[in-house]
Amino acid sequence: MLSIVIPVLNEGKTIHTTLLSLNKIISHGDEIIVVDGQSEDETREVVASYRNVKLIVSQQGRARQMNEGARLAKGKYILFLHADTELSHEGIGLLKRTISSSDVPWGWFKLELDSKKLKYKLLTMASMLRARMTKTPLGDHGIFVKTEIFHKIGGFPEIPIMEDLEFARKIKGISGGVEIKAPIKVSVRRFEKNGILTTLLQMWVLRTLYYFGMSASTLAKYYDNAR
């Protein structure tokens, strides 16, 4: 059994597509848990229309929401997805074959931006290489982890941003992860809204400052979480 946890906040325009896609590829026994951070749009109404999806309302904060969902997860593995990502039938099939054939502790998917434009293809390649070289995937790579290990390391640190980097740091202390060589499609909406150069520069500066010791709380004031 696989538990899929999706944190959402004002995702009424995107979560329907995500859930519709997931329902076409999950197996009997799998579960989908959507954790809403008190959205002010129609997000909860959309999620509630799916009878097989568990809806939780929690305090806002991606890390906190993912931890809340994980507490209710019944699967042997938990897959954390962003609301604007699309997992293929090939991807979930390869994931299940991988975790059933070996004792894989955790891992991630090969990221693919959902645009055919050359600039996004280049960004896709750069993201894939970065994750492979550093063995530190970001949240939009679709991180999956054995449930017992997730709880053993205390889940995601409940900080405003950079929770995925800190989680990867912690779990790498136990074991290296495995990349599932099937793409997970991620929306380019943030790049389209703010521009590629602006977005990349912001991300690079924030991560650099974080590595040099600036707190996540301080950095969060400058983080534009475009929807």
- Domain assignment of residue 142, yes or no: yes
Q: How does residue 224 score in pLDDT terms, banded at 50, 70 and 90?
A: low
Residues 6+ positions from 197 with CB-CB distance below 8 Å: none
Between helix 62-72 and helix 163-172 the angle, nearest 10°, is: 50
**Both tokens assigned to 220:** 């969060």
The total number of structural domains that make up the chain? 1
Q: Which residues pair with 77 in a beta bridge?
A: 2, 146
Any idea what the CATH number is for the domain that residue 186 is in? 3.90.550.10
pLDDT score for 13: 92
Region 51-59 average pLDDT: 96
Residue 198, phi-psi category: left (phi > 0), alpha (psi -120 to 50), beta (remainder): alpha
More confident residue, 226 or 200: 200
pLDDT tens-digit series, residues 86-109: 999 999 999 999 999 888 999 999
- Domain assignment of residue 131, yes or no: yes
Q: Is the pLDDT of residue 154 over 90?
A: yes
* Domain range enclosing 162: 2-190
Q: What's the start-to-end Cα distance of the chain, in Å? A: 31
**Cβ atoms of residues 140 and 79 within 8 Å:** no
pLDDT score for 225: 47
pLDDT tens-digit series, residues 5-15: 999 999 999 99
- Domain assignment of residue 212, yes or no: no
pLDDT score for 114: 93
Region 69-75 average pLDDT: 97
- Domain assignment of residue 111, yes or no: yes
pLDDT score for 92: 95
pLDDT tens-digit series, residues 107-122: 999 999 999 999 999 9
Q: 0.75 exceeded by the pTM? A: yes
- Domain assignment of residue 150, yes or no: yes
Whose tokens are 């495995």? That residue is 178
Q: How does residue 203 score in pLDDT terms, banded at 50, 70 and 90?
A: confident
- Domain assignment of residue 184, yes or no: yes
CA 173 to chain CA centroid, Å, is 20
pLDDT > 70 in the chain, percent: 98
Q: Which residues of 157-169 are buried (b: 16+ CB within 10 A; e: fewer)?
A: bbbbbbbbbbbbe
Contacts 24+ apart (CB under 8 A), 221-225: 223/160, 223/161, 224/194
- Domain assignment of residue 203, yes or no: no
Output the CA torsion sign for 158, 26, 54, 185: positive
Q: Is the pLDDT of residue 226 over 80?
A: no
**Both tokens assigned to 26:** 């999950």
Q: Is the pLDDT of residue 134 over 80?
A: yes
**Cβ atoms of residues 76 and 106 within 8 Å:** no
pLDDT score for 227: 36
pLDDT score for 20: 95
**In angstroms, rounded to a whole number, what is the distance separating the alpha carbons of residues 208 and 203?**
8
Q: Is the pLDDT of residue 206 over 50?
A: yes
- Domain assignment of residue 180, yes or no: yes
Q: How does residue 85 score in pLDDT terms, banded at 50, 70 and 90?
A: very high
pLDDT tens-digit series, residues 155-168: 999 999 999 999 99
